[in-house]
Amino acid sequence: MRLNIVTKTDVGRKREHNEDAFLVDEELGLIAVADGMGGHAAGDVASQEAVASLHDHVLAGAAIIKAFQQNHDPGNAENLRRMLENAIRAAAYQVFGVSEMDKARKGMGTTLSLLLVQPEAAFLAHVGDSRIYMLREGQLRQVTSDHTYVAEMVRRGKMTEQEASSSRMSNLLIRAVGSHDYVEVDTRILRYKRHDVFLLCSDGLTGHISDAEFPRLIQASDLHWSAERLVNTALERGGKDNITLVLARVDET
């Protein structure tokens, strides 16, 4: 299994500093995006602490990853899924602990979305409203669910998509890494094919580009061009937030 990975991040046109963070470990097949919040330089601390803690935890789980690589049975897959779930919970505990030690950072938190691509399957774990997409033969699919108040209202049938997009509460998270010492984590196991492209991104991108537009802005054969085009499009439309993305194409299965 081999991935072609391209990353890009931009502070945007409205923010003074970048509170996003990303992680790429090609040897592990691990990629992640985090979008910090908290103000007063706390957001960037939260996102950086989260991805560092995540990386440490996944590295410590090398034996679990190796077991799945050697045998793709359901038991090994479940152990790997659970390890990633615990990695995000460990990150939440870490970020919460840092915020408790510094009153200026009280209440800080971050989104955290990760993908671990292994032979036969990709494992994802996710908290917040950063997103993971899969693009296959021009067809785009969001494979995470936003943990926002308006997204939950839409899921319950109490708000339409149009009402959600115009709501003043559209960015209100109902789950975040570090705002409490424990967090519920979404996990999923995906089957992929050669030439599939994964997009991990913060809401600084999705706030300006609709799902319907992504397929024409992502050229699977040229990820560098695609990353530039995506970020420039978001900037041209206002760049109201930090913009971070990771594009990963499966070149060999």
**What is the number of domains present in the chain?**
1
User: 137 with 66: CB under 8 angstroms?
Assistant: no
Task: Report, as an integer, the average pLDDT of 55-76.
Answer: 98
Q: What is the pLDDT at residue 171? A: 81
CATH for 84: 3.60.40.10
Q: What is the residue range of 110's domain?
A: 2-252
Span 187-239, pLDDT tens digits:
999 999 999 999 999 999 999 999 999 999 999 999 999 999 999 999 999 99
pLDDT value at 39 more than 90 = no
Span 130-164, pLDDT tens digits:
999 999 999 999 999 999 999 899 899 988 888 88
Q: Residue 40: which pLDDT band, with cuts at 50, 70 and 90?
A: low
Percentage of the chain beyond pLDDT 70 is 99
Residues 6 or more apart whose CB falls under 8 angstroms from that of 46 comprise 19, 34, 36, 37, 38, 95, 98, 99, 105, 108, 109, 110, 177, 178
Q: Residue 41: which pLDDT band, with cuts at 50, 70 and 90?
A: low
Residue whose token pair is 């708000």? 159
Span 92-121, pLDDT tens digits:
999 999 999 988 888 899 999 999 999 999
Average pLDDT over all residues of the chain? 95
